[in-house]
Amino acid sequence: MSLAVALTHRAGTFALDVAFEAGPGVTALFGRSGAGKTTIVNAVAGLLRPDQAQITLNGRVFNDAKTFVPPHKRRIGYVFQDARLFPHLSVAQNLDYAARFGAKANARAQIIDMLGIGALLTRGPATLSGGEKQRVALGRALLSDPEVLLMDEPLAALDGARKAEILPYLDRLKRDSGVPVLYVSHAVDEVARLADHMVLLADGKVARAGPLFDVMADPATVPLIGVREAGAVLRATVREHGKDGISTLAVAGGTLSLMGVDAPVGAVVRLHVLAQDVLLSLDRPTGLSAQNILPVTITAIRTGDGPGAAIALDASGDTLLARVTARAVTGMGLAEGQQLFAILKATSVAQNAISGGVTSAPTPAP
């Protein structure tokens, strides 16, 4: 799948001027509220006709100076922030309505199984939890046999428990459905867990775009992502689960001991490691309660107008981010090319930041 988007649009004082491409997998449109994310997906869906646009999907023109394909002819599935199920229809009837528009043979049973909604079929939307509604909305969108799936802040209206409930289904959707996804969010943990590619928006423009691992690990993106949420994403292989609740995972630079790893031994998972949780030491530390110590090399240091600095660290091919004070950079004499040690507490990586869905294994740890 290749979705190419180039558009300009003005609404009041806000001007949107973006161009990017989205390939297979999950492409995240990320940015703060008002960055233009929903305007973009509405333009892709045909719900908005921009002032100027060139939008194509697999070479088929949706928008240009002469063409505007209406929404119902675009073969696009759309999952909104609110599920927008038909309230007078049961779950089964909501799904069957969508299936009329092109579901493939056996798709209904496969999608119901993938999303775990078989027990909900006879119920009405009013009886469902927020997470259940979104799973049904996903099923309805997939049953229309879309070429691409648009998801606009699908978890924003859910509380923490409901969000944790649906995230594994989104992992499975990504792994099993084969449908490319354009995923809109301003939640870093969702993007880090689900996305393959990231389009970072700021003030109506594309500030950075590329593979998720590269964009998240770039020190220059820290102010745009948010200093408290910024952090690199690592691939790791689950080696063992200890009886004490601590799991051992292999990464390129060694092993990590972490809590809350709900994945079988041998599984390849993602770890979103916040920059603010990475400590640096010039020498290998001893006598610490933190047991995760990785040898690293500084590849970039970026200081801003404030007192902080973002540091990119190479850990045998993986990239970590650390956020320290500019005073620490000076006091420790930190410089590009310098070798030192990164320290990470076992409790630093939140459970919802640990996920599956990565198909390629990382380099085995020594």
**How confident is the model over 29-78, as pLDDT tens digits?**
999 888 999 999 999 999 999 999 999 998 899 999 999 999 989 989 99
Structural tokens at position 124: 């009405």
Q: Residue 202: how many CA atoms within 13 Å on its side-chain side?
A: 10
Q: What is the mean pLDDT of the chain?
A: 89
CA 363/CA 361 separation, integer angstroms: 7
Q: According to the 3-state scheme, what is the secondary structure of 152-214?
A: ECCCCCCCHHHHHHHHHHHHHHHHHCCCCEEEEECCHHHHHHHCCEEEEEECCEEEEEEEHHH
In a domain, 222, yes or no: no
Mean pLDDT value across residues 227-247: 92
List pLDDT tens digits, range 256-298: 999 878 889 999 999 999 999 999 999 999 888 888 999 999 9
Mean pLDDT value across residues 346-360: 59
Reported as type and span, the H/E element at residue 44 is helix 37-45
Asked if residue 252 and residue 185 are part of one domain, the reply reads no
In a domain, 50, yes or no: yes
List pLDDT tens digits, range 78-95: 999 888 999 999 999 999
* Contact yes or no for 139/112 (Cβ under 8 A): yes
Asked if residue 320 and residue 202 are part of one domain, the reply reads no
Boundary residue ending a domain (170, 190, 216): 216
List pLDDT tens digits, range 306-319: 899 999 999 999 99
Asked if residue 243 and residue 208 are part of one domain, the reply reads no
On the question of pLDDT at 360 being above 60, the answer is: no
Q: Residue 288: how many CA atoms within 13 Å on its side-chain side?
A: 16
pLDDT of residue 82: 87
Query: How is the beta sheet containing 197-202 ordered, strand by strand?
Result: 76-79, 148-152, 181-185, 26-30, 197-202, 205-211
Residues near 315 by Cβ (< 8 Å), separated by ≥ 6?
251, 252, 253, 254, 294, 295, 296, 342
pLDDT of residue 105: 57
In a domain, 316, yes or no: yes
CATH of the domain at 62: 3.40.50.300
* Contact yes or no for 69/63 (Cβ under 8 A): yes
Structural tokens at position 274: 């916040």
* pTM for the predicted model, two decimal places: 0.88
pLDDT of residue 352: 57
* pLDDT classification of 363: cutoffs 50, 70, 90: very low
CATH of the domain at 331: 2.40.50.100
Range in 84-98, 148-162, 212-226, 338-352 the model is least confident about = 338-352
CA 35/CA 205 separation, integer angstroms: 8
In a domain, 66, yes or no: yes
Asked if residue 259 and residue 340 are part of one domain, the reply reads yes
Structural tokens at position 250: 């292999």
**What's the residue count for the chain?**
366
Answer left, alpha or beta for residue 27, where phi above 0 means left and psi between -120 and 50 means alpha: beta
Asked if residue 273 and residue 187 are part of one domain, the reply reads no
DSSP type of residue 68:
B
Lookup result for tokens 């404030």: 306
CA 83/CA 135 separation, integer angstroms: 9
In a domain, 97, yes or no: yes
Asked if residue 183 and residue 244 are part of one domain, the reply reads no
In a domain, 244, yes or no: yes
In a domain, 20, yes or no: yes
**Whole-number percent of the chain with pLDDT over 70:** 94
Boundary residue ending a domain (183, 216, 249): 216
Asked if residue 174 and residue 68 are part of one domain, the reply reads yes
Asked if residue 57 and residue 204 are part of one domain, the reply reads yes
Asked if residue 236 and residue 190 are part of one domain, the reply reads no
Closest CA to 80 of 184, 186, 151: 151
Structural tokens at position 310: 């973002």
CA 272/CA 267 separation, integer angstroms: 16
In the chain, how many domains are there? Answer: 2
Residues near 190 by Cβ (< 8 Å), separated by ≥ 6?
28, 155, 167, 183
Reported as type and span, the H/E element at residue 115 is helix 107-115
Q: Which domain holds residue 169?
A: 3-216
pLDDT of residue 104: 65
pLDDT of residue 103: 61
Asked if residue 244 and residue 209 are part of one domain, the reply reads no
**Strand pairing category for 231-241 and 268-274:** antiparallel
Structural tokens at position 241: 């689960």
Asked if residue 241 and residue 195 are part of one domain, the reply reads no
CA 296/CA 327 separation, integer angstroms: 20
**Strand pairing category for 246-251 and 292-303:** unpaired
On the question of pLDDT at 359 being above 70, the answer is: no
Residues near 102 by Cβ (< 8 Å), separated by ≥ 6?
75, 144, 145
On the question of pLDDT at 301 being above 70, the answer is: yes
Asked if residue 243 and residue 146 are part of one domain, the reply reads no
Boundary residue ending a domain (168, 188, 216): 216
pLDDT of residue 174: 84
In a domain, 139, yes or no: yes
Residues near 126 by Cβ (< 8 Å), separated by ≥ 6?
87
pLDDT of residue 289: 85
CA 18/CA 40 separation, integer angstroms: 9
